[in-house]
Each structure stands twice: as C-alpha cells, then as structure tokens.
Amino acid sequence: MTAEHIKGRVEISGGFFLLAAFLYYMDTDGLLLRVGLAATVHELGHLLAIWALGGRVSRLRLTCVGAEMRLASSCPNGRMFRILTALAGPAAGLLLAAMAAQISPGGWSLAGISLSLSCFNLLPVAGLDGWRALSACLTSRWGRRALEMVSLLASGGLAAAGLWTMSGTGDPTLFVTGSWLLLSAVRQSGYFSQIPTCVPKQIMIN
C-alpha cells in the first residue's frame, strides 16, 4: 500500500493523541505498549477478515474511544460477512493470548491483556464486536428487541460496577467506559434517538 493509498484514509483525532500522551505519561510498567500491541492485533484481525472476504476499508479512524474502520459501500453486506468480520478481531486477540501464554513468564502479561480485551469486546453491548455478531444473527423483530434489552442491561451493569469501583477506589476509568457504552446502547436502542444513526450501508467496526 503506497502513501497515496493511505492519505485521506487514515484519520487520527486529537483526542487519540491526547489520551495516548496521558497514558504514556502515567504508565510506569510498560503496560501501554502491551495494550497497544493487543489492540493492534485485534484490529488487524478485523482488517484481514474484511480483506479475505472481499471487502475494502475506506477509512480508518483512531479516536480516544478506539479504532474505527469504515467499510467501502461496495463491500459485501451479507450476514456471514458481518458475523465473521466482527468475530475476527476477538479471535485474533484470543490467538495472541494463547500464543503469548506459551512464553512464560514474559508473555503472561500480554496474554492476560489480550484475553481480557477480547472478552470485553465479545460483550453483547452496542458498539462492541459481540453485539455486532449477534445483531447480524438476529434478524427477527423480537430478536432485535431482545438484543437491545441485553445491550442496555449489560452496559448499565458495567456502568454500575464502575460506579461501585469508583466509590471504593476513586478510579473512574471503568465508570467512564461503562457510561460510554450505556450511552451508545441507548443511542442504538432508538428509545431516545435524537441523534441520527449512521447511514445503513456504512458499517463501523471497532
């Protein structure tokens, strides 16, 4: 891929740099590097699956809430395509975890990070890979309704657990993450949708 290809297709927000700088500043264990590696492998999993199934990524955005790939409108939009591309990220993460776990004890940390990242992404909360795969599976109206409820409950639970942690330790990260997911679940559910949802043909992949 040439520079011309990349130009205009990769977008990195200021928030991403700010968060990266902040985490780098706070990080003393070299944890950030391992988290970055695990996240890169996760995204590569998505990307390879998209390419392998004949899709094309029109734009890659790196923001403070994660990476986001926008598919070209010419992509296949079948159910299998959506399921497989959604699950490819966590699958790559699990593979990385399994491989890193073999390198003892140096790889344990990376294995743990990659495993927890993959499992987190498999949660059935709107915006995460688990939800994406499920929503591609469930096409009936009742199935969608049920998924919305599960998404709301899971993200609400996560936010509550984050609040509990924050009250105990003062650490706001889990609460912020949970709230963000709850917000996206609420937005997705359409109960309070003032915000226009994205154009249907453009699927975003976190």
Partner 1 sequence: MESMTYQEWNRRRQGRNGSTAPSGRKKGKPVQMGCTERRRLLQLFVCTMVFVATVVGKGVFPERMETVQAELRQMLCADTDLSGAFVRLGRSLSRGDPVGESLGDFCIEVFSAEDGIRVSVPTTSRRPLSRQEANALLEQGSRPVADVLGLRAESDCDGTSGNDFFADTAAVPSPEPTEPEVVHVDYTGPALPANATMDKYRLDLAETVSPVIGRVSSGFGWREHPVDGGEKFHNGADLAVDLGTPVKAFAAGTVEYIGDSPVYGLYLQIDHGNGVSSFYAHCEELLVQQGKTVTAGEQIALAGETGNATGPHLHFELKRNGIRLDPVYYIETK
List the strands of the sheet with 10-12, edge to edge: 10-12, 57-63, 66-71, 204-205
Q: Does 125 interact with partner 1 (rule: CB under 8 A)?
A: no
Interface pattern 80-109 for partner 1 (x via CB under 8 A): -----------------xx-xxx-xxxxxx
Position 24 contacts partner 1 (CB under 8 A)? no
Tally of CA atoms within 13 A in the half-sphere of 94 that contains its CB = 10
Question: Per CB under 8 A, does 25 bind partner 1?
Answer: yes
Residue closer to partner 1 by CB (options 173, 193) is 173
| Binding flag, residue 194, partner 1 (CB under 8 A) | no
| Residue 160 CB contacts under 8 Å (≥ 6 apart), including other chains | 178
Cα–Cα distance for residue pair 151/147, rounded to 1 Å: 6
The torsion region of residue 137 among left (phi > 0), alpha (psi -120 to 50) and beta comes to alpha
Instruction: Rule CB under 8 A: say whether 168 interacts with partner 1.
Output: yes
Min dist. Cβ of residue 170 to partner 1 (A): 5
Which residue among 6, 10, 12, 18 contacts partner 1 (CB under 8 A)? 18
Among 29, 140, 141, 200, indicate the residue that binds partner 1 (CB under 8 A).
Answer: 29
Minimum CB distance to partner 1, residue 28 (Å): 4
DSSP 38: H
Please tell me whether the peptide bond between 105 and the residue prior to it is cis, using omega within 30 degrees of 0.
Answer: yes
* Sign of the C-alpha dihedral computed for residues 30, 33, 39 and 41 taken in this order: negative
- Which residue ranges make up the site for partner 1 (CB under 8 A)? 13-15, 17-18, 21, 25-26, 28-29, 31, 34, 97-98, 100-102, 104-113, 115-116, 119, 161, 164-165, 168-174, 196, 199, 202
